[in-house]
Chains A and B, each alone.
Chain A
Amino acid sequence: MQGYRCQNCHAESITKTTFCPKCQSQSFELFTLPTNGTVYSFTIIRVAPPEYVDFAPYTVALIQLTANLRITAFIQEAVSIGEKVRWKETKNQTFIFEKVV
């Protein structure tokens, strides 16, 4: 997993923008994200969009990966805020995480 860091103001994001929303710079560097993180918040989706019905109920969680960066990830199991999780794989543009056992 890689994130974008603004080389001018050091803002970090998982998504790339044309201009840095904080300082308008166009200089970004790709950096490697840690694979372990903490659950910042989550929800358990029970009524799922058509293409996700087979996975329901499933968890979508915001994972705190660095001090300034969170990403939205799919987790099959239930989690709670503050719990340690780790990257399992990236499939169909989806970050899939799992609990650290």
Chain B
Amino acid sequence: MRLPLSYVVRNLWTRKLTTLLTAGGMALVVFVFAAVLMLEAGLRQTLVDTGSFDNAVVIRRSAQTEVQSGIDRAQAGVIESQPEVTLGAGGARMLSKEVVVLVNLYKRDAENKPANVLVRGVEPQGLALRPQLHIVAGRLFRPGASEIVVGRSVAERFRGAGLGERLYFGLRDWSVVGVFDAGHSGFDSEIWGDADQLMQAFRRPVYSSVVLKLADPARFGELKARLESDPRLTVEAKREIEFYSEQSALLANFIRYLGLSLSVIFSVGAVLGAMITMYASVATRTAEIGTLRALGFRRGSILAAFLLEAAALGITGGAAGLFAASFMQLLTISTMNWQSFSELAFSFTLTGAIVAKSLAFALAMGFLGGFLPAARAARIDIVDALRAA
């Protein structure tokens, strides 16, 4: 016969302070665990949304990032003439030769803390290549003018980057004429302007990268092979989606490893806490357990009841931790991505998988902490237990 669930719940309810403290410890562990997973998911989300499967990015061989790359005009011309490039309205080639530089801007809220913000000079097709990007305030920059549009998170965070303000770099004042939203992708952390104007301002005769849309995404392999074996070029081609996920691999791994090792260490503390609570719970109820056994409940039922109690502790803690962690979605983290050396904003993202993982983690902590005490409770001898009272 099984012990009723209400017995388990009432046991926890009687010792509120102890239950609260144990579940509270677990809640904190689950909070850290969930927050880390959410951060990593947010980072991946941001970078996955940045790239498109249909687009290819061409940069100088072994340059790793657009900032380090350089492609001169003759090489860019060779890339432009490849047959895989799709044709857009009016027969224009869907290709943008871009220049990418970093400039130091200061955050609005902090005195004298510079951040590297990525400035991208694009050609007219650049916007069409990134359909996720929309102007939400103001208008697009005019080609040939010292005008720029800024990503949403740049406009919010950096001094002088709001709509109607002016930014000074490359010996010029640039008017911010528009703010764009790129659907939480990495472009939200960028400033865009006219490629030719930016190249002039920075005295830079070469492009950084060439971004193009493939007419047939399946034929990317052919394009890559041809470009990389062309003796006139020293470039490598990547799918845009891969390019951006590589950009953040280091940061994502760092967050993941740091977070997981912390969760493991912390969970040791929480498991010990659960173990202490459950041992005490068994010790103070020895006579009660004896009575239950005398009434005819089997060892298995006792074991199950105590395990359930521990699991309930774990689930309570897990749910509380997850609840607190879900508020982290309101926060946006902005930090330097080591690989691209530029500022990147991303937010905590809660997914179904994270909810499941966190609850499973909490449940596992509860079981792990409850198993030994429950086994002890189940092994108690009826006569000794009754005498203990």
A and B together in one complex: no
Residues in chain A within 8 A of chain B (CB atoms): none
